[in-house]
């Protein structure tokens, strides 16, 4: 196995961090674009759709932590 992708080295940890940060960045950009289109199609305000959809997406990490801890 390539030593770059093991988490026992600093390079592996930084590589994993960079990859996951990139995925989160791309997902956030996509989610905000979808929320904007949804607001336009439904006629609801962008603030309402943004607060509901993006708020729900950002609370998923807390939900996951609560469910896994139970």
In a domain, 50, yes or no: yes
Specify if 8 maps to a domain.
no
Largest Cα span, the chain: 52
Q: How far is 34 from 40, CA to CA, in rounded Å?
A: 10
Question: Average pLDDT, whole number, for the chain?
Answer: 84
List Cα–Cα distances, 69 to 55, 56, 63, 65, 66, in angstroms. 22, 20, 10, 6, 5
List the domain range (segments joined by +) for residue 47: 13-69
Q: Is residue 26 part of a domain?
A: yes
Domain count, the chain: 1
Instruction: Give a yes or no: residue 36 inside a domain.
Output: yes
Q: What letter would DSSP give residue 70? A: -
Residue 46 placed within a domain: yes
Q: Does residue 4 fall inside a structural domain?
A: no
pTM of structure: 0.66
Is pLDDT at 2 greater than 70 in this prediction?
A: no
Q: What is the pLDDT of residues 8-40, one digit of tens each?
A: 788 888 888 999 999 989 988 998 898 889 889
């Amino acid at each position: 196995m390539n030593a770059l992708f093991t988490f026992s080295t600093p390079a592996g940890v930084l590589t994993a961090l960079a990859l996951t940060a990139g995925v989160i960045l791309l997902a956030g950009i996509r989610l905000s674009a979808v929320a904007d289109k949804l607001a336009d199609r439904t006629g609801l305000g962008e603030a309402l759709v943004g607060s509901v959809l993006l708020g729900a997406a950002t609370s998923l990490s807390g939900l996951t932590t609560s469910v896994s801890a139970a």
